Structures are given as structure tokens and as C-alpha cells.
Chains A and B, each alone.
Chain A
Amino acid sequence: MSILVLAEHDNQQLKPVTLNTLAAAQQLKGDITLLVAGHQCASVAEQAAKVSGVKQVLVADAEAYAHHLAENVSDLLVDLAEPFTHILAASTTTGKNILPRAAALLGVNPLTDVSGVESSHRFKRAIYAGNAIATVEIDEPKVVMTVRGTAFDPVAAEGGSAEITSVSAVFENADIRFSHEALAESDRPELTAASIVVSGGRGLGNGENFELLYQVADKLGAAVGASRAAVDAGYVPNDMQVGQTGKMVAPELYIAVGISGAIQHLAGMKDSKVIVAINKDEEAPIFQVADYGLVADLFDAVPELQNSL
């Protein structure tokens, strides 16, 4: 096996989810090459070279790759694909945007959001919002797949000493341009990598009340998430959504506040180690998956929780 992993990064930092993707790659048992495609991303390449278990780091540093546009990065992947049996990326909005395009260009079927490696061509993945787990066998000369980060424990970020090779090929599609972005800035940990997540739902009533959760989160060093209902209602931005169509999280501790527990929300958090639910409706489905349930008005319970931490 020879595995190419597309690194997830912001041109400054290697994103932790790359370490989970590499853990899936290690289960395939082969030489692992990590591709860093970006712009002015030398520091990412250095971090990548230190990751445990990486044999080689390829760096494609060009303006065309600055925003990880699928058109440009998939052409690059196709150009580099020849020696590899497997091409992996994290199942993030970046990975899911790029890999299926690369797969189609290579003439193979991709696999999305793989959560278990059974063999080189047999994998597990969730279907129907996590209500069923499928085992699939893929009959393709190259396996191109995205990996659910929370399903694999990360490899060590240190301990490796891979060789860094630069790739000169630049692909720039003239039919698409990056215009601008509005990225959430936060000092709190990233939702998918945090060990504690505090999430709020429609029970919070409005965006201002999320302040209650931010205060608890800051005492715990936690990330803050939200249910789809809270995002749809405009309380908080989309990047906070946990669930089937939002982010998958599996922290050590997940605290659901004012969240009823719709199936699509549970799909995004039920692999958390310990789940706490605070809800005034004791019939709320969230209590069926919670290790510790507190039936209480969140506007009383959350400030009290903050004071007792």
C-alpha cells in the first residue's frame, strides 16, 4: 500500500483533524505521504514533517492553492496520484469538496466519511444520519476517500522526521476565483478538536443568551456548538452547527443545553464519551442518550453551573 493524505491547514497551522486522518491511513499499513497544498505554507510543511509515521511530505506552494479551491487541488492530486493506492482527506468541507472531484477525474468511485477500516478495500461508514452503519467493499484500482476524524484517535504530532519535497506543478482553473471569506474568530478551541463541547439549542431563545454558554465554556476550556434549530433561527453562525449536516464531534464531555435532541443532532454528537443534557422538558429525546440528565430551566442551571466550576 502507498497512501497519499491531503493535509488540512490554513497556511499557518496544520489542523488537528489531519492527525486523525493519518491514523486511518496507518490502519491501511503502507508508506504514508502527506501533501501540503497551499500558499506560503512552509511552516505547515515543517509541522507535517514532524508528525509520527509520515514518510514523505510533498509541498505544493502556489497562490492557486491558497484557498484550497477544489478545481486546482483536484488537478494537483490527479497529477500526483500515479504511485498511490489510496488517497485520503479529512471529511471536512474542504476534503468533501475536493476528493470526489479528484475521484471522478481519476475515473473511480469515492467513499465519503469513512469511520472504520476493515481492510485495504473494505470500510465502514454511517448512512441514514447515523441510523445505520454500512460495511462496503470497493472494487477500484485506487481508493479515494474522506475520513471521519472523530472515528480515529489522532497520531502523535511529534516524533517523525519526514523528508520535505517540493512540487512545482501549478494548476489554476480560469473559471473560478476566490472572492472573500468571513471566518469566525475565536480564542476557544476548535469544535471538532475540543475535549469539551458546550452546545446550545433553541431553548436559549436568542443569540445574546449564548453568552451564558460562552462563560461556562471559558471556565472549562471548551468549544461552543449549536443545534441546527439554533443556527436556522439565526442565534449563531453556521460554523457552530453540530449534527448530520454540520460538524461531527466526539469530545470527552458534551454538554447539551436547551437542545431537544433531534435525530440529525444526535448523529453529530452521540459518539461523545460523556453526554450531559440540561433541558426543562423531561420528555426531550436528548435524555435518552445522556449519561447525566438534569431537568431544569437552563437560565437557572447554567449560571449555577458556571459558579460551581
Chain B
Amino acid sequence: MKILVAVKRVIDYNVKVRVKADGTDVDLANVKMALNPFCEIAVEEAVRLKEQGKATEIVVVSIGQKSCEEQLRTALALGADRAIRVDVESTPDALTIARLLAKVAEEEQPGLVLLGKQSIDSDNNQTGQMLAALMKRPQATFASEVQIEGEALTVTREVDGGLQTLTLNLPAVVTTDLRLNEPRYASLPNIMKAKKKPLEVKSAADLGISVTNKVKLVSVAPPAERSAGIKVGSVAELVDKLRNEAKVIA
């Protein structure tokens, strides 16, 4: 079985995000970029399934400009077999992304598609669900455990109330949550090997999809700052403040 993993290049999670002075967007100039952490978990899960003998080939795909090939190489170093970059000139909206991925899936015919549940830049949490809809296949979002037995996929999901387990027929789309696995570090030999693995570039036009953007970013502002309050010296003082100053406890 082939596994398709969709990944995204995002700002490194350790970088403090700053809004541009003109309020048009956040400032990404000269900022360290990385593979989105949830996507990294998706790649790791694919590699583990291959190591278990459940998968035979792992294809990673990313949509973006040439710079995202760096993240595709990271995924190849972690254990993916080959990569596809779908080249887009302008920023596509979520529906375009899902359509492009659906087209890639149609060409590749994977048994399983893995994605991170959300990217840490736009915090949307929607691509996997949209892709599953366009592929007319079932979905399991927020996965914390994935098991494959024959054509059946069992996924445990982290839901608000606890854990929910679903059984799906393959092909299916799974989005990964934090506790699915802990991604490995790429070894130096694997980083070197990754440079030689195949990386194919396709354009949106090659895939027959026109790139649109129906969600316009009007402005970006920093959040309302909370200022630090006071330090209290004792529990008694804290309780007194909560009762008589903030009036939040009886």
C-alpha cells in the first residue's frame, strides 16, 4: 500500500511571531522556517507503518514555491521515498489546496493519506477534512492511534470529551494529533541520502486546477496585551485579593 503524506512549510515553532508595522501580515522575512510539527508527526507515522510492513511506499507532497523543497527533503530524510512539489505562484486558498491534493491523490492512488491536523501558522485545521470530502473517502481527524489490519483502519481520536475509536475502510484520510508519536531525528546519512531521492515538480496547471484565493487577508494586528499584575506575598493575601478586589470567589 502506498501512503501519501501532505506537508507544509511554516515558521519554526520556536520563533516569536511579530506583526508587520503596516499591519498587512506577520513578518516572515529572515525568519527560520521548518516542517509544520503536526506534518512531521504524519511523516513519522507513515514511516512506522512502512517499518511494520503495512506500507510499501511513502510519497510526500507539498504545495508552494521552491523554498518548500527544503521541507520535502526533511521528510525524505525522515524516511519518505519520493516527493512531489506542486508549484503555485500566488497563495492559494484552502479549497484550492484541497483540490490540488485531491488531484495528486487521484494520480497516485494511495491507500492512506496522512496530514497534520493543523498548521501552526494559519491554525485552520481543515485541509484533511476537505481533501477527504473531495476524494469521497472517510476521515479520522485528531488521531492518537492508528492501526491497519487488511483493508480496515482503526483510529483512536482525541475528542473534547475523551477518546473516540472509529473503523474505516481504506482508502481513508487521517489527520494527526500531538500524541500519535514522537518523530525521530533524521540521521546524517539519511539526510545525505535524501538529497538523491526523487523530487518531482508539477504546476497547478499540469494538474488542471486554477488557483484562486477567496479568503482575503484584510489586516493583521497584534493581540491585546495583558499586562502583568501584582505579586502577592502569601496565600492569605491572594485569597483576600480574589474575594475583595477581583470579587471572583465568594
Q: Which residues of A contact B (CB under 8 A)?
A: 10, 67, 69-71, 74, 92-94, 96-105, 107-113, 122, 126-140, 173-184, 192, 196, 220, 228, 231-232, 237-239, 244-245, 247, 252-253, 263, 270, 273-276, 282, 287-296, 301, 304-305, 308-309
Contacts and interface: CB of A to CB of B under 8 A. Distances in A.
A204 B217 CA distance: 42
Contact of A237 (B94, B162, B218, B223): B162
23 contacts: A93-B142, A94-B160, A96-B141, A97-B129, A97-B139, A101-B132, A112-B123, A127-B26, A131-B222, A178-B164, A179-B166, A181-B164, A182-B162, A239-B159, A244-B123, A270-B226, A291-B246, A293-B230, A293-B231, A294-B232, A294-B238, A308-B235, A308-B236
Contact of B228 (A71, A134, A293): A293
B226 A136 contact: no
B212 to A, nearest CB: 9
Interface string B224-243: 00101111101110110110
A246 B93 CA distance: 25
B138 A71 contact: yes
Contacts of B241: 292
Given A138-B215, A184-B161, A132 B220 contact: yes
A91 to B, nearest CB: 9
Of the candidates A134, A135, A237, A296, the one having the most CB atoms from chain B within 10 angstroms of its own CB is A134
Contacts of B125: 96, 100, 112-113
Contact of A112 (B126, B222, B228, B230): B126
A132 B19 contact: yes
B216 to A, nearest CB: 5
Given A104-B98, A179-B166, A292-B241, A287 B214 contact: no
B138 to A, nearest CB: 4
A295 B231 contact: yes
A140 B215 CA distance: 8
Of the candidates B162, B167, B230, B248, the one having the most CB atoms from chain A within 10 angstroms of its own CB is B248
A305 B237 CA distance: 10
